[in-house]
A and B are shown apart, each in its own frame.
Chain A
Amino acid sequence: MKTLSVRGGYNVAVAGRPGSDVEVLPEPAVLYLPLCTRRFAFTELRVNDGQRVRPGDAIAVDPKNYGVPLLAPRAGTVRLNAASGHAVIEDPEPAADYARDPGPDEPRPEQGSGESCEKQRQLLALGAWQYFTDARTSRLPDPFATPQAIIVSTIQLEPFVSRGDVQLRDRLAEFVRGLKHIQSLLEHQPIHVVLPRVKSRLALDLRERLAGFPHVNIVSVPLRYPFDNPRLLARHLKLRPNPDQPVWAVNAAGVLAVDRSLTRQLPCIERLISLGGPGVREPRHLKAIPGYPIDMILAGRLNDGTVRVLNGGGLTGNALPPEQLGLDVECAGLTVLPEQAEREFLAFMRRGFDRLSYSKAFMSCVLPIALLHHTGLRGEPRPCVACGYCEEVCPAGIMPHLIHKYLYRDGLEEAEAARVDLCIGCGLCSFVCPSKIELCRQMLEAQQRIARELHAEEANP
């Protein structure tokens, strides 16, 4: 077992942490499947308007992402023009477990053959492959490549996405079986299973069950955001970036999906998402399917007042656009924040029992009472005063304030030398900045500009 020593990181104590009870959502009357998600664009349609589909049929595939399919979660009639950007399934029939044989038009691997290749094809077709990410680029990895290692994370630390311990409750046997399947995809490459550095029942159980596994390496990390980040873990595990030998990352839900698709040959459709945040009445985990109408999920569950719904957690999630009607296939959780409604009188003079802050400048560091969270920027943008908070919390070990100064004078090369490429976009620097500078966005934009302007020739020789 290996214990990682880490620097930086910070747990943002947002109210509304979802409990571990899971609510099964009632069957919906209609499904809206978004054709665009964070990583995928399902542009190649495989069905016609009005066609009936069975659960697990591919409605569309993403040709740029190894043909990863958008699976129909339920049987029903597909409408392609009912809502723009969505495939709508009308009159979905209630779920029934159902194994399907792959159609002739499904993507076949061009290279390689043999049993493991067949397995990878199955993972792709049954919707388990989309749980995998390339640890370095966080894009979908090539299913037919050989990774140098796989990082299996059982923890999710962002406030709030569905947690690993909830995913794994009562499903340890399946998880271990899934790990065996993953191992069978590899030759001898190591699997790093990431466990929290706490004495929990789950961690102890898992340790016991994984004790005899060859090539499985248990890594324990502190429960501090964002040390569940695959790229950070890969760095701490000293896995060198290599385009030919990527590092794959997969979370607990992904391992369960692998088990489902390879052991039972069933399409992976159901998702466990979290519904949390200070704008939610009863934060909890929900068992949902992609396409589930968001209105129906939120109805009756929100606090009064206008809210902003984030697709993902409070630090990296994006605001759910009003035109998105249903859950997408990548959603791990919805975080709801109240919109800032009022301008507080003499806000900076308050004692601040209700203020969430990394600094200890509010009374909440002694006695946090009903922490007040909303979407307010909480101050006016100011020049950087070099307080150093961003550097203290940065888990990647870079200096956001320095990079900000370089970028302020358009020093793209200097920013590159300051290793802006190590930024994982966790958002903590923007969170803590008292001058309200958009550090995280600036660094992510700088990464793109560096790739575009300084390394354009390397990418397209």
Chain B
Amino acid sequence: MRKLLDAMQRFRPHFEEGGRLRPLKPVYDAAEGFFFAPLAVTADAPHLRDALDLKRFMAMVVVGLLPCVAAAVHFFGLRVLAMILVSYAVGGTIEVLFAIVRKDEINEGFLVTGLIFPLTLPPGLPLWMVGVGIAIGLVLGKELFGGTGRNPFNPALVGRCFLAIGYPAAMAGSWLKPGTGTLGRLVQYVDSSVVDAASSATPLAAAKHGAFASLADLFWGNVAGSAGETSAIAVIVGGVILVVTRVASWRTVAGVLASFALLNAALHRLDPAAFAPVVWNLCAGGLLFGAFFMATDPVTSPATNCGKWAYGIIIGAVTLLIRSLTGYVEGVMFAILLGNIAAPLLDEVAVRIRLRRLRDEI
């Protein structure tokens, strides 16, 4: 590996001050930083530092998403990989462009955004829409606010929201039937133009007309839906990895799922027609995916523990209400974006309470 480092460093002068490729320095730095741990050492106490850095932090989210990716490819075919590729290519380009303009380093956040985004989309969506969506999401949701760490909204959800509002017909008409058998669609590349692969409705949409998919299908993911969200078991496995490794906050997840389940249980009793049974509703749609992977984004969720509880409760409750009482089939996306809007306020309240308590500390 010494040779690779030497080879890379031979090009370094071109990217330094006065070099021909000076504007591309963030790209070089990102590449070198990706392959080789930085040489920086501590200058001040504490001289010991934790081995966790933001690269590993984001890499853990990618690891957590892998079961979902596997399930998506299994049920919806190689097209999912193409969507991921497009998302990474467009997202990476935008991240690089902004880093060059800002003369800042390229942050690792887009590794997660670029993977999460296609998993939230209908698997038959035209690829150009995937590109447009991630571009809008990153620019409007993140870069304009200053990049990773300063964005108020989850960029993947901003992109998806844009697509849902801008191209409602394509979004509603791009569902695919999941592949069957052991192989599923592992070796197929289908989109919604293939007649026998296109699906008209997701389980939540069908449930509005009283047709409930079987719970086993929801659990394993053998239903139509957004690419990464259909398999409850894959989401749970990945999500538990995140919670156990402390990359995702268990408080947010617990807040979302508990508020959703409790409210659903209560309302199901009152009006069984409008509100689906609790366990079915938990496994259907994107609730689990949203709770484990989208709501827990540390940047866009509140920083305080009390804030996280409140934020989770808002998301869970709003999801249920949108899902069951409005014309929309699914409410997770709007609920989380609403939660993102509320997050600074929740933090403000939690911080004030906390500071009032701290004020009299000795």
Q: A residues bordering B, Cβ < 8 Å?
A: 12, 14, 235, 238-241, 308, 310, 314-319, 335, 337, 339-340, 343-349, 352, 355-362, 365, 372-380, 382-389, 391, 397-399, 401-402, 417-419, 422, 427-428, 430-436, 438, 440-441
Which among A361, A375, A384, A391 has the highest number of chain B CB atoms within 10 Å?
Answer: A361
CB-based nearest A residue for B299 = A385
Given A385-B54, A401-B303, 15 new contacts (CB under 8 A): A240-B362, A343-B39, A348-B53, A362-B51, A376-B38, A377-B40, A379-B49, A379-B54, A380-B40, A380-B54, A385-B299, A387-B298, A388-B304, A418-B351, A434-B52
Majority secondary structure of chain B interface residues (helix, strand, loop or mixed): loop
Residues of B contacting A241 with CB < 8 Å?
Answer: 362
- With A and B bound together, what is the CA distance between A391 and B299 in angstroms? 15
CB of A388 within 8 A of CB of B51, answer no
- With A and B bound together, what is the CA distance between A135 and B350 in angstroms? 31
Q: Which listed residue (A339, A402, A435) contacts B303, Cβ 8 A?
A: A402
Q: Please tell me if B21 contacts chain A, counting CB pairs below 8 Å.
A: no
CB of B50 within 8 A of CB of A432, answer yes
Q: Please tell me if B231 contacts chain A, counting CB pairs below 8 Å.
A: no
CB of B36 within 8 A of CB of A345, answer yes
B1-31 CB mask vs A (1 if < 8 Å, else 0) is: 1001100000000000000000000000000
Q: Please tell me if B162 contacts chain A, counting CB pairs below 8 Å.
A: no
Which among A235, A355, A384, A387 has the highest number of chain B CB atoms within 10 Å?
Answer: A387
CB of A422 within 8 A of CB of B361, answer yes
CB of A387 within 8 A of CB of B57, answer yes
Residues of A contacting B38 with CB < 8 Å?
Answer: 343, 376-377, 379-380
- With A and B bound together, what is the CA distance between A335 and B42 in angstroms? 15
Q: Which listed residue (A337, A352, A365, A382) contacts B47, Cβ 8 A?
A: A337
Residues of A contacting B358 with CB < 8 Å?
Answer: 397-398, 418-419, 422
| CB contact under 8 A between A440 and B45, given known A347-B37, A376-B40 | yes
CB-based nearest B residue for A433 = B50
Instruction: Report the minimum CB–CB distance from A5 to chain B (whole Å).
Output: 15
Q: Please tell me if B270 contacts chain A, counting CB pairs below 8 Å.
A: no
Residues of B contacting A315 with CB < 8 Å?
Answer: 45-48
CB-based nearest A residue for B107 = A382
Q: Can you sample 6 A-B contacts with CB below 8 Å?
A: A356-B48, A378-B53, A384-B149, A385-B54, A434-B56, A441-B44
Q: Please tell me if B199 contacts chain A, counting CB pairs below 8 Å.
A: no
Residues of A contacting B113 with CB < 8 Å?
Answer: none
CB of B45 within 8 A of CB of A360, answer no
| CB contact under 8 A between A359 and B37, given known A434-B52, A438-B44 | no
CB of A12 within 8 A of CB of B355, answer no
Q: Please tell me if B247 contacts chain A, counting CB pairs below 8 Å.
A: yes
CB-based nearest A residue for B149 = A383
State which residues 124-154 of B face A: CB under 8 Å. Answer: 146-150
CB of B52 within 8 A of CB of A358, answer yes
CB of B54 within 8 A of CB of A434, answer yes
CB of B48 within 8 A of CB of A314, answer yes
CB of B355 within 8 A of CB of A360, answer no
Q: Please tell me if B60 contacts chain A, counting CB pairs below 8 Å.
A: yes
Q: Please tell me if B249 contacts chain A, counting CB pairs below 8 Å.
A: yes
- With A and B bound together, what is the CA distance between A432 and B42 in angstroms? 13
Residues of B contacting A308 with CB < 8 Å?
Answer: 47
CB of A383 within 8 A of CB of B55, answer no
CB of B52 within 8 A of CB of A375, answer no
CB-based nearest A residue for B146 = A383
State which residues 267-315 of B face A: CB under 8 Å. Answer: 298-299, 301, 303-305
Q: Please tell me if B354 contacts chain A, counting CB pairs below 8 Å.
A: yes
Majority secondary structure of chain A interface residues (helix, strand, loop or mixed): loop
Q: Please tell me if B35 contacts chain A, counting CB pairs below 8 Å.
A: yes
CB of A235 within 8 A of CB of B361, answer yes
- With A and B bound together, what is the CA distance between A349 and B1 in angstroms? 15
Q: Please tell me if B103 contacts chain A, counting CB pairs below 8 Å.
A: no
- With A and B bound together, what is the CA distance between A373 and B56 in angstroms? 17
Q: Please tell me if B210 contacts chain A, counting CB pairs below 8 Å.
A: no
Q: Please tell me if B209 contacts chain A, counting CB pairs below 8 Å.
A: no
CB of A361 within 8 A of CB of B355, answer no
Q: Which listed residue (A345, A391, A434) contacts B50, Cβ 8 A?
A: A434
Residues of A contacting B362 with CB < 8 Å?
Answer: 235, 238-241
Q: Which listed residue (B5, B37, B60, B246) contacts A378, Cβ 8 A?
A: B37
Q: Please tell me if B170 contacts chain A, counting CB pairs below 8 Å.
A: no
- With A and B bound together, what is the CA distance between A240 and B361 in angstroms? 9
- With A and B bound together, what is the CA distance between A427 and B45 in angstroms? 7
Q: Please tell me if B41 contacts chain A, counting CB pairs below 8 Å.
A: yes
Residues of A contacting B36 with CB < 8 Å?
Answer: 343-345, 347
Q: Please tell me if B166 contacts chain A, counting CB pairs below 8 Å.
A: no
- With A and B bound together, what is the CA distance between A382 and B33 in angstroms? 13
Instruction: Report the minimum CB–CB distance from B358 to chain A (whole Å).
Output: 5
- With A and B bound together, what is the CA distance between A379 and B358 in angstroms? 33
Residues of B contacting A348 with CB < 8 Å?
Answer: 37, 53, 55-56, 59
CB of A399 within 8 A of CB of B351, answer yes
| CB contact under 8 A between A349 and B53, given known A344-B36, A383-B148, A401-B303 | no
Instruction: Report the minimum CB–CB distance from B239 to chain A (whole Å).
Output: 14
Q: Please tell me if B244 contacts chain A, counting CB pairs below 8 Å.
A: yes
Residues of A contacting B108 with CB < 8 Å?
Answer: 382
Q: Please tell me if B245 contacts chain A, counting CB pairs below 8 Å.
A: yes
- With A and B bound together, what is the CA distance between A434 and B361 in angstroms? 29
- With A and B bound together, what is the CA distance between A62 and B246 in angstroms? 49
5 smallest CB-CB distances across A and B, nearest first, come from A379-B53, A383-B149, A427-B46, A347-B37, A355-B51
CB of B351 within 8 A of CB of A361, answer no
Residues of B contacting A372 with CB < 8 Å?
Answer: 51
- With A and B bound together, what is the CA distance between A348 and B59 in angstroms? 8
| CB contact under 8 A between A380 and B33, given known A360-B244, A361-B60, A397-B361 | yes
Instruction: Report the minimum CB–CB distance from B345 to chain A (whole Å).
Output: 15
Q: Which listed residue (A361, A375, A379, A430) contacts B245, Cβ 8 A?
A: A361
CB of A383 within 8 A of CB of B147, answer yes
Q: Please tell me if B105 contacts chain A, counting CB pairs below 8 Å.
A: yes
- With A and B bound together, what is the CA distance between A387 and B5 in angstroms? 32
- With A and B bound together, what is the CA distance between A310 and B46 in angstroms? 10
| CB contact under 8 A between A317 and B249, given known A235-B361, A346-B35, A380-B33 | no
Q: Which listed residue (A339, A360, A441) contacts B41, Cβ 8 A?
A: A339
CB of B52 within 8 A of CB of A399, answer no
CB of A12 within 8 A of CB of B48, answer yes
Residues of B contacting A378 with CB < 8 Å?
Answer: 37, 49-53
CB of A361 within 8 A of CB of B57, answer yes
CB of A360 within 8 A of CB of B246, answer yes
CB of B35 within 8 A of CB of A337, answer no
- With A and B bound together, what is the CA distance between A357 and B299 in angstroms? 21
CB of A359 within 8 A of CB of B299, answer no
CB of A359 within 8 A of CB of B249, answer no
Instruction: Report the minimum CB–CB distance from B262 to chain A (whole Å).
Output: 25
- With A and B bound together, what is the CA distance between A355 and B35 in angstroms? 18
Residues of B contacting A345 with CB < 8 Å?
Answer: 1, 4-5, 35-36
| CB contact under 8 A between A357 and B148, given known A315-B46, A380-B38, A397-B361 | no
CB of B33 within 8 A of CB of A431, answer no
Q: Which listed residue (A374, A399, A432) contacts B304, Cβ 8 A?
A: A399
- With A and B bound together, what is the CA distance between A375 and B42 in angstroms? 6
Which among B53, B245, B351, B355 has the highest number of chain A CB atoms within 10 Å?
Answer: B53
CB of B54 within 8 A of CB of A431, answer no
